[in-house]
C-alpha cells in the first residue's frame, strides 16, 4: 500500500464550491468506508483542503481523484499530490 497527500486549492467561485461540496463529502465518506481516505477536511480559511489517501499505487489514486466531484465539477483549481513515506503514527499497523 502507498500513502499520498493532496493539498487542494479551491476555485474562487464560492457558489460553485458550496453547490458541489455535499457531493464531494459524500464521495469522501464512501472512500473513508473503503479505507482509501484516512483523513480529510478544509483548511480553516476554507480556501482549500487536505486529504490523506492509502491506495495500492498512483494509478488507483489518479482514478480516485478523477472521479471526485471537485475534479469533475472544476472546484479543485490546483491539487498538489505527494507520496508520503509515513513511518509512525496511529494509522500504521502495530
What's the total number of domains in the chain? 1
DSSP annotation string for 40-59 = EEE-TTSSEEEEEEEESSHH
Domain membership flag for residue 91: no
Q: Is residue 39 part of a domain?
A: yes
Residue 66: predicted pLDDT: 98
Q: For residue 92, what pLDDT is reported?
A: 76
More confident residue, 94 or 56: 56
Q: pLDDT tens for residues 10-43?
A: 999 999 999 999 999 999 999 999 999 999 999 9
Q: What is d(CA 16, CA 37) in angstroms, rounded to the nearest whole number? A: 23
Supply angle C-alpha 36, 40, 46, rounded to 5. 150
Q: How many angstroms separate the CA atoms of 90 and 59, rounded? A: 26
Distance of CA 9 to the CA centre of its chain: 11
The domain in which residue 21 lies consists of 2-84
Residue 21 belongs to domain with CATH number: 3.30.70.1060
Q: Would residue 89 count as lying in a domain?
A: no
Residue 9 lies in a domain: yes
User: In this predicted model, what pLDDT tens digit does every residue of 54-88 receive, in sequence order?
Assistant: 999 999 999 999 999 999 999 999 999 999 998 88
Amino acid at each position: 500500500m502507498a500513502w499520498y497527500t493532496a493539498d487542494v486549492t479551491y476555485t474562487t467561485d464560492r457558489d460553485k464550491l458550496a453547490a458541489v461540496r455535499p457531493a464531494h463529502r459524500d464521495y469522501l465518506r464512501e472512500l473513508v468506508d473503503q479505507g482509501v481516505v484516512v483523513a480529510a477536511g478544509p483548511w480553516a480559511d476554507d480556501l482549500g483542503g487536505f486529504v490523506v489517501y492509502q491506495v495500492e499505487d498512483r494509478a488507483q489514486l489518479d482514478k480516485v481523484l478523477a472521479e471526485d466531484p471537485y475534479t469533475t465539477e472544476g472546484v479543485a483549481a490546483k491539487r498538489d499530490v505527494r507520496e508520503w513515506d509515513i513511518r509512525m503514527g496511529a494509522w500504521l499497523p502495530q
